[in-house]
Amino acid sequence: MVGSINDGEVYRFISKPWDTQEIQAVVAEAVSIGKRMIQRGAGAALLPPVTRDAVLVVGQDRVVHDAVTDCLAGAAPVSHAEGITDALEFLRANETAVIVADVDAGLDNYLVFLNALKRERPEVLVIALTSASDSEYVMELINAAQIYRFLNKPVNFDMLDRYLRAAIAQHEAYRAAPELLEEHAVHESQKAIESTIGRWIRDGLRSLRGKFGGGRLRL
C-alpha cells in the first residue's frame, strides 16, 4: 500500500464493500480533475529542486532534522518543531514548502492536523514518517490529507533525500501553476469536525496567508 502511494501517487482509497454513492462521487471527482489536467497538458514541471520556502521537520527526534539538513545542503532552509503546537506557530510566520512529520507521536491528532493543513494550505507537501502498519490509518491519511510520501521507520535517508527533492520540485511547480492544486482538494475529516483539537487546529491554520492566492480548496 505504501509503495502504491510513493510510486503511483494514488488519488483515493475505497474500502470494500464500498458504498455506491461514495464510489460514484470519487470517480466523478477524479475524472473531472483528470480531464482538466489533460486539457492543460498538466504535469510536474522539471524544475531545479530549490526553494526559498522552508522545509519543516516535526517530531522530537533531532536526528531526522539533521539528516534533512544534510540531504538538502542549502536547497531550502530547514527548521524544526517538536509537535503540532510548534508547527502551527512556525506556519503562521513562515512560507513552507514541505513538512516532514513523525506522526507516531499522536496518530489521530496528526490526522486532524494534516487534513486541516491540506484544506487550508494545499501547496504544502507532507512526507510522513511512521512505524505504524495499520493499513486503515494509511488509507485515511491519503483520503483525508493527500500525503505526498510515506517512509517507514527506521528511516532510509537515501530515500528521504529523493522524496525531499521531488517534493520541493513539485512545490515549485505549484508556484508556477497554482491551478494544479485542485487535485489535492479534500473533505474535512469527521474527526476534525467532532474534536476540540480539530477546531483549534482549523482556526490556527485559517489565520495563515499563503502565496498561492490565500484561497482554500473545497469539494
> Average pLDDT for residues 56-83, to the nearest whole number?
93
Number of structural domains (the chain) is: 1
- What is the arithmetic mean of pLDDT over 57-70? 93
Dihedral sign (CA 202, 206, 211, 216): positive
216 in a structural domain: no
Mean pLDDT for all residues in the chain:
79
- C-alpha angle 116-118-184 in degrees, rounded to nearest 5: 145
CB within 8 Å of 163: residues ≥ 6 apart:
6, 127, 148, 149, 151
**Amino acid at residue number 8:** G
Q: What are phi and psi of 93, to 5 degrees?
A: -105, -10
26 inside domain: yes
Cα separation, 169 vs 146, whole angstroms: 17
Q: Encode pLDDT of 86-95 as tens digits.
A: 999 999 889 9
128-161 residue pLDDT tens: 998 876 677 788 888 888 889 988 888 899 999 9
Q: Quick one: angle between helices 196-206 and 107-120, nearest 10?
A: 30
End-to-end CA separation in angstroms for the chain: 25
Question: Is there a domain that residue 212 lies in?
Answer: no
User: Could you tell me the residue range of the domain that residue 136 belongs to?
Assistant: 2-40+48-206
Q: Are 172 and 51 in contact (CB under 8 A)?
A: yes
Q: What is the mean pLDDT of residues 69-94?
A: 92
Residue 215 maps to a domain: no
Query: Does residue 213 belong to any structural domain of this protein?
Result: no
Higher pLDDT among residues 167 and 217, named by residue: 167
Examine residue 196 and state whether it is found in any structural domain, yes or no: yes
Residue 96 forms beta bridges with which residues? 54
- Residue 214, in any domain of the structure: no
The pLDDT, as a whole number, for residue 1 is: 62
**pLDDT tens by residue, 25-46:** 778 766 765 665 565 554 444 4
What CATH number has the domain bearing residue 67?
A: 3.40.50.2300
Q: Tell me if 218 is assigned to some domain.
A: no
Q: What is the pLDDT of residue 133?
A: 67
